[in-house]
Structure 1
Amino acid sequence: MFEKKLMAGWGDMDFNSHMRNTAFMDKAGDIRMMFLSEHGFPISELMRLKIGPVVMKDEIAYFKEVMLLDEITVTLGVAGLAPDGSRWQLRSDVIRPDGKLAARITSTGGWLDLNARKLIAPPPALLATWQALARTDDFQELNTSIK
């Protein structure tokens, strides 16, 4: 499982003094981009290819609070993937310093052709990068987005 240690910063907090809901989605987005960057697809390469990841749905389940300056571990795994890679479902767990699960984010998306503004299958090397992610226990094969 790909994972990084991140910090719950001042801008991540809400009025109740714990991490706000959209901050969890931000951390899940950050971990996706860190994974892609570390595996040969930094934003500069995606821009050169004129493609980008697009999220169509996020689901969040909350379990425990995260407080200001907590060092959190954010994981990334693949929960679903179309054979051609045009659709994907990624899962991120946010784990507190005490090892307890704080939140689970499941994001469903695909690859957007930035010129044509439509979903496409990624190039083979990018597909292989998603395929290299650890699969979640409930992994499922998804239907293609290509019509």
Structure 2
Amino acid sequence: MEFLNLRWADLDPNFHLRHSVYYDLAAQERIAILDRYGINAAVMIDQHFGPVLFKEECVFKREIRLSSRIYIDTKVLKMKRDASFWVIQHSFIAETDTLHALLKVEGSWMDTIKRKLARPVPPIVLEGMENFPKTADFEYI
């Protein structure tokens, strides 16, 4: 568990985390996890694919302030068996285990040359997504 490094620039006029920062932090966390499982920028460029989002939403539960000690717990909530579609959930949690926000994204993989959904997904994607952490109530769809 790694706590977030929040910056003054991340705050809004009410001195809590700006709404758009949640999305930026979640995206950075997703990319870091994908990288751990071999799905990195170099592989995506070489094999001509990348992630694409269809939906992104956040439910804000409690304020996050500059001094807050928060970490993001990121896991796959749902996924097609071929990893061609997935829902990833990001829980913004305080060191006291208090949930501050729940952000979910629905996405797939795009062929960056054809500019269409990648079907089938490259083998490294299937392997990486199988290894990606899963929620307790994870389900294949």
Q: Same fold (TM over 0.5)?
A: yes
Match of 2:28, SS state, is helix
Matched AA of 1:42:
N
Q: Which residue of 1 aligns with 2:35?
A: 37
Count of residue correspondences: 140
Closer, same or farther: CA 8–26 of 1 in aligned 2, 3 Å: same
- How many Å apart are 1:63 and its aligned residue? 1.1
8 Å Cα contact 1:8-1:72 kept in structure 2: no
Structure 2, unaligned stretches of length 5 or more? Answer: none
Identity of aligned residues (%): 28
Partners of 1:92 and 1:40 lie apart in 2 by: 20
User: Whole-Å Cα distance in 1 between the matches of residues 134 and 37 of structure 2?
Assistant: 17
In the aligned structure 2, how far is the partner of 1:17 from the partner of 1:36? Answer: 32
**Cα pair 1:8 1:66 within 8 Å, conserved:** no
Distance 2:97 2:7 in 1: 19
| 2:53 counterpart residue number | 55
Change in Cα spacing, 1:141 to 1:100, as seen in structure 2 (3 Å) is same
Across the aligned residues of Structure 1 and Structure 2, the Cα RMSD in angstroms comes to 1.6
| Aligned partner (choices 35, 44, 48) of residue 46 of structure 1 | 44
Code of the aligned partner of 1:134: P
Q: Match for residue 75 of structure 1? A: 73
Question: For 2:7 and 2:94, how far apart are their aligned partners in 1?
Answer: 14
Contact (CA 8 Å) 2:30, 2:74: kept in 1 or not?
Answer: yes
Task: Return the offset for 1:67.
Answer: 0.6
For normalisation by structure 1, the TM-score amounts to: 0.87
| Match 1:13 to one of 11, 29, 44 | 11
Aligned to 2:127: 128
TM-superposed CA distance for 1:116, in Å, is 0.6
For 1:140, give the aligned amino acid.
Answer: E
Q: How has the CA–CA distance of structure 1 residues 123 and 4 changed in structure 2, closer, same or farther, with 3 Å as cutoff? A: farther
What is the alpha-carbon distance in structure 1 between the residues aligned to residue 71 and residue 78 of structure 2? 22
Q: Counterpart of 1:71 in structure 2: which amino acid?
A: R
CA-to-aligned-CA distance 1:82-114 (integer Å, 9 cap, x gap): 111111100111112333111011100000111
4+ long deviations beyond 6 Å = none
